[in-house]
Homo-oligomer: A and B are copies of this chain.
Amino acid sequence: MTLHSETLLDHACLIVHGPDQPGLVAAVTALVTRNKGNIVSLDQYSSDPEGGDFFQRVVFHRPDLLATLPDIEADIEETLRPYGMQWRLTDQSIPKRMAILASKSDHCLLELLWRHRRGELPVTIPMVISNHTNTAEDVRSFGIPFFHVPSQGPDKTEAEARILELLKGNVDFVVLARYMQIISEDFLDEIAVPVINIHHSFLPAFIGAAPYRKAHERGVKLIGATSHYVTKDLDEGPIIEQDVARVNHAMTAADLQARGAYVERAVLSRAVQWHAEDRVIRHGNHTIVFTDRP
C-alpha cells in the first residue's frame, strides 16, 4: 500500500488487452521469464468465456530494468503482434506527473497533497491550478507550485488556454479535485492525457449541478461520490470508483455536503492511486480496475 519509488526500482508493469485467445497468459508469462523478469503480481480478466476481450496486468521485477527496456519492448511487440493485442509497458520507478485543478473547496485537494507527502501516491505533482486563491498558502506549504487562473464570465476560452499553456508537456494526467468549471471538448482534445473527476453523487443519480440539493429533495438515505474519467458528455464518463455514506431526514442539504466531503476525498484518492499504479484500463465506457482492495 505504501509506495516508494525506491521499492519499485527495477519493477515494470505490462498492460495487455485485445481479443481473448488460448495461450495468451502463457505467452506473456514466458515472455517475462525469458527476459529474466520475476512476476510479482498478475491480474487478468476476460469479458466472455468465448470470443471476449482479454485484459492483463503483470508487474515484474527485472534487475537492470532501465538498460534492457528496449529489448523487452521489442520482444513484447514481436510476441503479441500475431495475437493482435495492444500493450503498454511502464517503469514503475518513474512516478507519473499529476496536475491538480481545484476551486474553493480544499478537502479533495489537501487529501491528495497529504497522501502524496506520506509517500502513498506514486506521482509527482508539478503544479496545482485554481480559479480561486484561498488554497495558495496551503498548497505551497507542501512545496508544490500554485497558479491562479481566474475563470470569469461565460467565455472560458481564455482561462482554458492559460491552463493548457501551463499543463502541456508537463503532466501525464490531470485531476479535477472539485474543480467547479465545465471542461470543454476542445480542452480535452488538446490536453490529450487522462482527466479524472470526482462527482459529488452516486452516478448516474443526480447528474449535473447541485447533487446534494437534489438528493435532499428526493429524500435518499445514502449519499455518494463517483470518480470517473472525463469525456465530452458531462458526468457520463467511465466510472473508476464509488462509495456512499448514510444520511437521514434530520440532515439539511448543507449537512449532506459536509458529510459527503469525506466520501469524496476517499473515493478520489483511491481512483487517483489506482490510475497512477496502472491498475485501471478503459474499455469503451467501462473500466477494468485491478484494485489492491483487500
Residues of A within 8 A of B (CB): 1-2, 22-23, 25-26, 29-30, 32-33, 36, 38-42, 44-46, 49, 61, 107, 110, 114, 118, 120, 137-138, 141, 202-206, 218-222, 224, 238-244, 246-251, 254-255, 258-259, 262, 266, 285-289, 291-294
Contacts and interface: CB of A to CB of B under 8 A. Distances in A.
20 contacts: A1-B259, A2-B255, A25-B29, A29-B30, A42-B42, A45-B250, A137-B141, A141-B141, A202-B205, A202-B222, A204-B205, A204-B206, A204-B220, A219-B239, A219-B285, A220-B242, A221-B242, A222-B242, A248-B294, A249-B288
A245 to B, nearest CB: 8
Contacts of A141: 137-138, 141
Contacts of A36: 22
Nearest to A22: B38
A238 B217 CA distance: 11
Which residue of A23, A251, A293 has the most chain B CB atoms within 10 A of its CB atom?
A23
Contacts of A107: 118
B222 A203 contact: no
Copy tally for this chain in the complex stands at: 4
Contacts of A286: 219, 249
A56 to B, nearest CB: 9
Contacts of A204: 205-206, 218, 220
Contacts of A203: 205, 218, 220
A interface SS class? mixed
B258 A2 contact: yes
A285 to B, nearest CB: 6
Contact of A249 (B110, B224, B289): B289
Nearest to A286: B219
B294 A1 contact: no
A218 B235 CA distance: 12
B222 A244 contact: yes
Nearest to A60: B25
A39 B61 contact: no
Contacts of A32: 25-26
A243 B255 contact: no
